[in-house]
C-alpha cells in the first residue's frame, strides 16, 4: 500500500511511542502496518520517548511483542539523554528519583548514586523521573538537597501519559511538586528540550525529517525547537481542537492515528 503524499516527501520519521505507537500495552490502530509500510518505502526510523521507566532494551522487546520491528540503535530514550548529559558533568553525588533504568543510566554516566546513604540530602545533583513505585517519602531527600544548592535535572514536563485505564501522572507532576517545594527550577533533558531529537538526528543522518507525536507541549514544541516539522495524531492526550489551534509552530498535519497519517491521508 503506497504511503500518503505527506509521508512520501520525507526521508526519515521520528516516532513518539506513548500515545502514538501504543497506549499502555496495546498498539494504536494498525500501527504495526503503518510502520512496516514506512520501512518498505525505505524511510529511516527513530523511536523517541520521554518515558523513563524502561531501558532501551525493554522498549525494543515491547515493540517486537506488538509486531513492530525495531533495533536498539533506533530507540532514543530520555534515560539515554540523561546519561549523555551526566557523562559530560563532573563526577558528583546524585540523588535519583526514578525507575531502575534511570539508576543504571546515572551509574553508567560515571556518577555516584547516594540514595539510602547519609549523603542523600546533601547530593550535588538530583535526577527526577516518574516511576511506578514512587512514594511521597522519595521527595524528602530531594527537597533537602535542592534547598542546599543541588542542581535538578528532569526527564521532562509531561503532566500525564496515556494508559489503557486513562491518564496517569507523568514526570512533570513530580517535577512540579519539587519546584513548588523548593522554589527552584529543573533543567529539562527530555522533550520539549531539543537534545533528544538531536540524538535521533545523529543516528538518522542527512535528509528531511518528520516528527510524529501526540503531545503539543512535548512533541510539537520539541520538534520546533530542533528545527523539525511535526504531525500530531489524536490517539494520546491532544484533542483535535487544540491541535488545530496550535501555532508557532503549527503541525504540518493532524490525523486520527498513525495509520491514518501514514497510509490514509
pLDDT digits (tens, 9 = 90+) for 55-78: 899 999 999 999 999 999 999 999
Please enumerate in sequence order all residues whose Cβ is within 8 A of that of 41, keeping only pairs 6 or more positions apart, or say none.
3, 7, 8
- For residue range 3-56, what is the model confidence (pLDDT) as tens digits? 999 999 999 999 999 999 999 999 999 999 999 999 999 999 999 999 888 889
Q: Using CA atoms, how far apart are residues 30 and 160, in angstroms rounded to an integer? A: 24
Please enumerate in sequence order all residues whose Cβ is within 8 A of that of 226, keeping only pairs 6 or more positions apart, or say none.
194, 197, 198, 201
Phi, psi (deg, nearest 5) at residue 23: -130, 115
pTM score of the predicted model: 0.88
Peptide bond into 246 cis (omega under 30): no
Give the Cα-Cα-Cα angle 190, 21, 214 (nearest 5 degrees): 55
Q: Using CA atoms, how far apart are residues 202 and 20, in angstroms rounded to an integer? A: 22
β 168-169/160-161 pair status: antiparallel
Q: Which of 16, 130, 158, 219 is catalytic?
A: 16
β 229-233/22-23 pair status: unpaired
CB-based contact 125:187 (threshold 8 Å): no
Q: Which of 18, 51, 214, 219 is catalytic?
A: 18
Catalytic status, residue 18:
yes
Catalytic status, residue 257:
no
Please enumerate in sequence order all residues whose Cβ is within 8 A of that of 157, keeping only pairs 6 or more positions apart, or say none.
171, 172, 175, 188, 192, 217, 218
**Which position has the grid cell 507523568?**
170
Average pLDDT of the residues in 234-244: 96
**What is residue 208's DSSP assignment?**
-
- For residue range 205-235, what is the model confidence (pLDDT) as tens digits? 899 999 999 999 999 999 999 999 999 999 9
**What is residue 245's DSSP assignment?**
H
First to last CA, the chain: 12
Q: Using CA atoms, how far apart are residues 13 and 37, in angstroms rounded to an integer? A: 12
Q: Which pLDDT score, from 0 to 100, does residue 265 have?
A: 67
Q: Using CA atoms, how far apart are residues 153 and 225, in angstroms rounded to an integer? A: 19
Q: Using CA atoms, how far apart are residues 263 and 78, in angstroms rounded to an integer? A: 29
Q: Is 104 exposed, middle or buried (0-12, 13-18, 19+ CB in 10 A)?
A: middle
Domains defined along the chain, listed by start: 5-50+191-264 (3.40.50.1000), 89-188 (3.40.50.1000)
**Which position has the grid cell 527526577?**
128
Beta-bridged to residue 212, according to DSSP, are 15, 231
User: Band of the pLDDT at 195, cuts 50, 70, 90?
Assistant: confident
Q: Which pLDDT score, from 0 to 100, does residue 51 have?
A: 87
CB-based contact 15:21 (threshold 8 Å): yes
- For residue range 86-135, what is the model confidence (pLDDT) as tens digits? 998 999 999 999 999 999 999 999 999 999 999 999 999 999 998 888 99
Q: Where would I find the beta strands (DSSP E) of 50-139? A: 75-77, 93-97, 112-113, 125-128
Amino acid at each position: 500500500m503506497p504511503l500518503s503524499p505527506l509521508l512520501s516527501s520525507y526521508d526519515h520519521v521520528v516516532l513518539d511511542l506513548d500515545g502514538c505507537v501504543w497506549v499502555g500495552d496495546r498498539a494504536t490502530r494498525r500501527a504495526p502496518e503503518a510502520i512496516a509500510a514506512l520501512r518498505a518505502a525505505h524511510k529511516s526510523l527513530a523511536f523517541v520517548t520521554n518515558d523513563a521507566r524502561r531501558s532501551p532494551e525493554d522498549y525494543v522487546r515491547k515493540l517486537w511483542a506488538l509486531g513492530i520491528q525495531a533495533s536498539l540503535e533506533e530507540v532514543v530514550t530520555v534515560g539515554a539523554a540523561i546519561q549523555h548529559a551526566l557523562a559530560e558533568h563532573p563526577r558528583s553525588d546524585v540523588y535519583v528519583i526514578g525507575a531502575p533504568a534511570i539508576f543504571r543510566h546515572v551509574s553508567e554516566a560515571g556518577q555516584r548514586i547516594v540514595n539510602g546513604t547519609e549523603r542523600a540530602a546533601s547530593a550535588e545533583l538530583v535526577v527526577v523521573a516518574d516511576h511506578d513505585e514512587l512514594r511521597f517519602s522519595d521527595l524528602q531527600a530531594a527537597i533537602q538537597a535542592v534547598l542546599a544548592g543541588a542542581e535538578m535535572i528532569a526527564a521532562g514536563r509531561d503532566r500525564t501519559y496515556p494508559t489503557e485505564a486513562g491518564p496517569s501522572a507523568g514526570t512533570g507532576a513530580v517535577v512540579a511538586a519539587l519546584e513548588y517545594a523548593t522554589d527552584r527550577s529543573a533543567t529539562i533533558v527530555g522533550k520539549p528540550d531539543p537534545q533528544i531529537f538531536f540524538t535521533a538526528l545523529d543516528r538518522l543522518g542527512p535528509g528531511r525529517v518528520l516528527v510524529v507525536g501526540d503531545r503539543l507541549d512535548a512533541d510539537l514544541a520539541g520538534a520546533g525547537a530542533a528545527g523539525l516539522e511535526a504531525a500530531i495524531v489524536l490517539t494520546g492526550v491532544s484533542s483535535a481542537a487544540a491541535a488545530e489551534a496550535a501555532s508557532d509552530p503549527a503541525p504540518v498535519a493532524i490525523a486520527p492515528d498513525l495509520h491514518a497519517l501514514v497510509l490514509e491521508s
